[in-house]
Amino acid sequence: MVVQEENSEIDTETFGKEDVEVSNDEKIYSLEILKIIKDAQQQHGLRHSDYQRYRGYCSRRLRRLRKVLKVPQGDRRHFKRRDVVPAMVSDDKFLQVPLTMAERAWSYAMQLRQESNTEPRKKFHLISRLRKATAYSLQLQELIESVNCNARTKLEAQAYVAWMHGSLHFELQLWKPAMENLKKAQVVYEKLASALPDLEQIIYKAKVEELAPSLRYCAYNIGDTSAIDDLMQMRGQLSGELLASLDSLMAQTREKQSTAEEVTWRGKSCGTVPPRAAGLLISDSRLNQTLAKAPNNQAKIDLLEAHLIDCKDAIAAVREDFKVELKNRDSDKPNASQHLVTYLQYIRLSRTLERYLTLVKVAQESDKTKPQDIVRLYEAALHNLVEIAQLQEDEAYQKEQDAKTKGYRAFRCFYMAQSLANLHRWRDAMALYQRSFQHATDALKESTLLPDDLKNELQKLETLIEGAQYAAHAHSVLEEGQDEEPGVNKQTRSKKPLYERLHEYREDTSLLTKQPNVYKLPPPMQSIPCKPLFFDLAFNLAEFPDLSDKLGDQGKKSGQAGLTGFVKGLWGWGNK
């Protein structure tokens, strides 16, 4: 759509320069509108969408300005309106008074927009606040045009007024004037960005990008049906205020475009498709084009998640309709209806699989991702493939899903081997590399059943596996020869203490630490033979043979003397 743009031609040669013809006595005023309001918004609440806090700041700022500039509105008892007129202007701060009043009214309107989600009556108050903000912005522009301001200030005032009018018309759903004003503001900000230094271009370029979603939304409402793809791409970027109306608008558009035609899937008819399911099928057919326009993988994930929510809602709605149809229709109808539900489930599971694969790409791009995290994503993808395989019992369908399963198993085994290689478990890693290569080879044998993307990835995987196998083998040989080197990994060292390996020479730097592995304390328990309990129990009953007849009288005397000597020595008396 061609939009008539006024005042869009900017003389960049004279921009930012003072007018030479102006006399030295006449002062040139300057006001960087966008920079001032952006700094204030970021410092006073809008970083967290707290419009009430920003509104309070604007009120306090306005009170301080009027007090410093001596432009009060009456006294404490009586109010008397007093606007800033060109004759009063003697400083740049006078221009900030209508700007602050416009920002205060705009922030109040944005606060009411948040509250109108639960209280619809506040919508009228919102529009009245926006009208007041628009009136104050016009006062600012008239004041800037009346006094001697530089070119940049005048251009920023025009862009600010156009943006404020566009916001008002947007809320009133006057799409054509809203688009014209927003486009005018965008063009002026683009020209300003091109004429400013690199450091000052950031906020102007950000403002241009901020206006782009609203412009596309207006273009779609005017009648540009090709903007549906842009709206789908915008869905992950819009704030909560526009998201609800955007979803309802897209749903209505899909229902208008849907027709009561029969849909076939894998050679079977799904019957007449209800409008809710037809809208989902149209959205799914256009989703690939929208994903191709996404700037990065994270944007693709947002689009897929939004599409999965739509799939879930559509399947639930179609099932409810079919429950009613089962009571009123013949037995042949539910078969086609059930096939439609299966088709919708296939779409949901396929898009879920695509989401997992996109998450894998995001993980691969990150330097902090571990191989274990990618293994979990592939396990979730394989579980999703199992659910897809259970939807149909067709032989060709099952072969196709088996081929995909083998391909993704190859990726899972490869990253499992990578995680084991990081732990220096080279033998286990080699076994998994071989298993991964076997899965990739089996999958490529059925390459006609695989998507082109998966086929290309598997061919690249075979090359990676071959290089990883050689690397793992080399590391294992090197670590076997360097087991006694001081730089060997602690996990490959023997945990024997020093006293058990005295016959081996090894430069072990751990012996110089505070906890050297010299001897294990406490020592390990050892088994010993038990004490023979038989003789202890029979000691009091054992009778020794009498040998007195062999010793004679000598044995009796020695026995007595020995007994008395023992007693004497025990108590310390008697002869020694």
CA distances from 179 to 173, 220, 240 (A): 10, 11, 21
Report the range of poorest mean pLDDT among 186-200, 385-399, 456-470, 473-487.
473-487
Mean pLDDT, residues 477-486 taken together? 62
**Domain ranges (residues) in the chain:** 33-74+83-223, 250-478
Nearest to 363 by CA among 426, 411, 306, 407: 411
Q: Angle 395-422/426-445 helices, nearest 10 degrees?
A: 160
Token output for 259 = 């027709």
Residue 437 CA to residue 429 CA, distance in Å, equals 12
Long-range contacts of 288-292 (CB under 8 A, 24+ apart): 289/229, 290/229, 290/232, 290/233
Q: How confident is the model at residue 236, as a pLDDT? A: 47
Average pLDDT, the chain: 79
Token output for 60 = 């306090």
Residues sharing a CB contact under 8 Å with residue 204, sequence separation 6 or more, in sequence order: 34, 189, 190, 192, 193, 196
How do beta strands 268-272 and 262-265 pair? Answer: antiparallel
Residues sharing a CB contact under 8 Å with residue 404, sequence separation 6 or more, in sequence order: 385, 443, 449, 450, 454
- Residue 80 predicted with pLDDT over 80: yes
User: 334, exposed or middle or buried, with CB in 10 Å at 0-12, 13-18, 19+?
Assistant: middle
End-to-end CA distance of the chain: 136
Residue 259: pLDDT band (50, 70, 90) is very low
- The domain covering 250-478 belongs, at the CATH homologous superfamily level, to alix/aip1 like domains (1.25.40.280)
Fold agreement (33-74+83-223, 250-478)? no
- The 8-class DSSP code of residue 27 comes to P
Count Cβ atoms below 10 Å from residue 408 Cβ, excluding itself: 24
Q: What is the pLDDT of residues 116-175, one digit of tens each?
A: 888 888 889 999 999 999 999 999 999 999 988 888 888 899 999 999 999 999 999 898
- The 8-class DSSP code of residue 172 comes to T
Residue 258 CA to residue 231 CA, distance in Å, equals 18
Annotate 293-308 with three-state secondary structure.
Answer: HCCCHHHHHHHHHHHH
- Residue 558 predicted with pLDDT over 80: no
One-letter identity of residue 354: E
Residue 435 CA to residue 380 CA, distance in Å, equals 19
The H or E element that residue 247 is part of is helix 240-257
Residue 272 CA to residue 322 CA, distance in Å, equals 12
- The 8-class DSSP code of residue 572 comes to T
Residues sharing a CB contact under 8 Å with residue 28, sequence separation 6 or more, in sequence order: 18, 19, 22, 148, 149, 150
- Residue 383 predicted with pLDDT over 50: yes
Please report, rounded to a whole number, the percentage of residues in the chain having pLDDT higher than 90. 22
Q: How confident is the model at residue 15, as a pLDDT? A: 45
Residue 341 CA to residue 346 CA, distance in Å, equals 9
Residues sharing a CB contact under 8 Å with residue 453, sequence separation 6 or more, in sequence order: none
Nearest to 204 by CA among 217, 191, 189, 216: 189
Torsion of CA 212, 217, 223, 226, to 10 degrees: 70
What is the assigned CATH class of domain 33-74+83-223? Answer: mainly alpha
